[in-house]
Each structure stands twice: as structure tokens, then as C-alpha cells.
Amino acid sequence: MAHKLALIGFGGVGKGFVEILRDKKMKLKKDHQIEFKIVTITDLYKGSLHHPDGLSLDEVLKAIDENGSLDAYPEQPGLIRGWNSKETIEKTNADSIVEMTYTDVKTGQPAIDHCKWAFLHKKNVVMTNKGPVALAYNDLAEQAHANGVKWFFEGAVMSGTPALRLPKMTLTGNEINKINGIFNGTTNYMLMRMEEGLEYDEALKEAQSLGYAEADPTADVEGYDVLYKVLILANVVLGIPLKREDVYCKGISTMTTDDIKEAKSLGKRWKLIGSIQKTKEGVKATVQPVMLDLDDPLAGVTGAMNAITYSCDLSGAVTLVGAGAGIKETGFAVLIDLIAIERER
């Protein structure tokens, strides 16, 4: 039986995910005997569509590409328009909610409420939104468990690169003492382009046009996006209930091309580094720009690529390098989570 999905938030990642489902439909069925059917899509300004038997992905993409809105989707018997996110969760016949609204770095809303409502209505949640995981992990994980549903969010850290499944699945049995790395695609891309001669504003515009930046890019350049990822890694991977006030956070917003040139003249390169370390005095967590030697492995991670190193007592340091942002890459993260749910069904 097809696994029915309701999408909340239909921006870059939402569209990327629908394109993946359209393109991989046959392969998923043939290789994995899995069929996903999107029955609802709800977006704040682009509108909302629901059909209990499934929406035509070609028509959804045509409506968005040609009109920027779901309102242009053709009429058909049984089609319902106009649900908001709460109505979607309450009324849809979907098995899983895919939450891809913007990340609010202060409150985590409305995504935290979306999770709570979905769990109460016995629906799984897959999300790329970082807010609920960073701010309400323990509470929401308990609610999902109590309602017998799954809550997955692989895309919240390093988009489609499995930065969360790696420690949870294959590094299990190790004590992880330190996690550090590059966790933001936008700023890593900007630093590379500034080294190539672009001004700060030009580099930011490019990162936005490539779909890497947050709806409000302040989150990227001030380091809050990395701070959120540090909180997720601490809570989910290390089981440490770290809060935002526990983390020293400095972004790249004050950096100029002169800073970049200075590093270059010293044979170094700036990177925005997130780090969590267990020490005798407790946990030390920071987000800050660091000048690295060019032969440091992290110095070679450029563009929207990210890297994470898990320092483990048994396996030693294990580093994963891969996309940290991107429409297709993050859409893929949703697919990984949905396949994981489907395999457990």
C-alpha cells in the first residue's frame, strides 16, 4: 500500500523533494517495493491542495514553475484547496507529515506545534527544519514515542549527508568525546567566494540564489544556524541537554575581504567551526570563525560542502564530508527518512 504524505512548507526543499519523487518513482518501486503518494501540500503563500487519492506531481510542478502558486493546479473532483497547516495535520489522510517550513531560530515555531499536532494525530514526522530538534528534542521525542509514531530529521544537520545516522547507527558502542566541523553551507560558500575576490554582499547573494541560505540569512552569517546544529548534535548524538545560552556563538558577519586576504598572506584560511567537547569541567561548545592552516583537512572543504569529525574512544576520529546545503541534497534527506520509516512499517 502506498505511503501517503502531506507536505507543509513548499519552498526550495519542498519542490526539490517533489522532483526527486517524480524522478525516482519507478526505481523506488522496482528496487525497494516502496511507493510514496503526496496527498496534501500546504504552503503559507503558495496555497494548499489536498486529494485523498494523491496529487499529480507533474501538475504540481507545472503550477509552481509557471505561476509560482498552487492555485493554478487544475480542478478535479474531490480536490480540496485552502487548508492551513493545522487543518492539514488534522484532516489529511497522510501517514506522514513532511515539515519543510522555515527555521525560526528564536522560537522554533510554528514547526514545534506542527510536530505536536502530528504526533497527537498519530502521524509520523519527517523534517528538515532545525528548530524543533534544537529547542525541544526531549519533549518531542517523548511525544512521538508515546503516540507510537516516528520522528526523523536527517536533513537538519548537513542536509543529505548522513551526519546523524552515522553516529547513531554505525559508530554505536563508541564513547564520542568531541564533535567538530563545518556545519553551514552558506558561510562556507561565501568564504570561498570572498577568497576568490567577491565582496561579502555579492557572495551572500550568490549563496541565496543557489538555495543554500535560510529564509532570513542572518541565521547563517551570525552563526545561529551552526549553533542550532551544535544543539542538535549535543542532544541527539551525545544525549547532553545543551541549551543555546550554553554555547559561545560568533558568526562571519563582521568579516571583510581584508580579513580573508590577511589569512591568505599567512598561508591560512578562515572557516566557521562548530565544536562540542566533553572536558573534566563539563561540556564546552562554541561556534566561531577559525583561521586554519591550509594543510588542515577542514581547510580543503570548500563551497557548500560541510565536514564533521566524531572523535571516538574505540574507532578514533571519523570524518564525514559531504553536502551541507542544497535543494536536491536536502530533498534527498527527506527521502532517506521516509525510506527508513517505510522499512520499519
Ligand X SMILES: NC(=O)C1=CN([C@@H]2O[C@H](COP(=O)(O)OP(=O)(O)OC[C@H]3O[C@@H](n4cnc5c(N)ncnc54)[C@H](OP(=O)(O)O)[C@@H]3O)[C@@H](O)[C@H]2O)C=CC1
Ligand Y SMILES: N[C@@H](CC=O)C(=O)O
Judged by beta carbon, residue 89 or residue 163, the one nearer ligand Y is 163
Q: So which residues are the catalytic ones? A: 229
Residue 332 marked ligand-binding? no
67: cell is: 505561476
Element (H, E) at 20: helix 12-32
Locus of grid cell 503563500: 45
By Cβ distance, which residue is nearest to ligand Y? 186
Distances (CA, A) of 297 to 26, 251, 314: 39, 21, 21
DSSP string for residues in 152-189: E-GGGTTTTS-TTHIIIIISBTBPEEEEEEE--HHHHH
Contact residues for ligand Y, defined by CB under 6 A: 159, 184-186, 212-214, 220, 225, 324-325
Show the CA angle centred on residue 201, arms to residues 134 and 208, nearest 5°.
50
Per partner kind, with CB cut-offs from 5 to 8 A, the member of ligand X, ligand Y, none near residue 100 is: ligand X
Site for ligand X in 74-133 (CB under 6 A): 85, 100-103, 110, 128-130
Interface with ligand X (CB under 6 A), residue from 155, 167, 217, 289 = 155
Per partner kind, with CB cut-offs from 5 to 8 A, the member of ligand X, ligand Y, none near residue 132 is: none
Residue type, 186: T
Interface with ligand X (CB under 6 A), residue from 45, 74, 78, 265 = 45
Per partner kind, with CB cut-offs from 5 to 8 A, the member of ligand X, ligand Y, none near residue 251 is: none
Say whether residue 13 binds ligand X (CB under 6 A): yes
User: Measuring CA to CA, which residue among 244, 14, 248, 231 is closest to residue 130?
Assistant: 231
User: Measuring CA to CA, which residue among 320, 157, 326, 311 is closest to residue 232?
Assistant: 157
Q: What is the smallest separation between the CB atom of 185 and ligand Y, expressed in angstroms?
A: 4
By CB under 6 A, the count of residues binding ligand X is: 30
Distance in angstroms (rounded) separating the CA atoms of residues 138 and 136: 6
Say whether residue 12 binds ligand X (CB under 6 A): yes
Distances (CA, A) of 293 to 195, 265, 316: 15, 11, 22
Judged by beta carbon, residue 43 or residue 225, the one nearer ligand Y is 225
Per partner kind, with CB cut-offs from 5 to 8 A, the member of ligand X, ligand Y, none near residue 220 is: ligand Y
Distances (CA, A) of 334 to 18, 88, 177, 221, 300: 10, 19, 29, 25, 28
Strands (E), 215-259: 247-249
Per partner kind, with CB cut-offs from 5 to 8 A, the member of ligand Y, ligand X, none near residue 275 is: none
Judged by beta carbon, residue 237 or residue 260, the one nearer ligand X is 237
Say whether residue 143 binds ligand X (CB under 6 A): no
Residue 223 marked ligand-binding? no
Interface with ligand X (CB under 6 A), residue from 10, 119, 153, 332 = 10
Question: Which residues are annotated as part of the binding site?
Answer: 9-14, 130, 214
Question: Which residues are annotated as part of the binding site for NADP(+)?
Answer: 9-14
What is the binding site for ligand X (CB under 6 A)? 8-14, 42-46, 85, 100-103, 110, 128-130, 155, 159, 211-212, 214-215, 325-326, 330
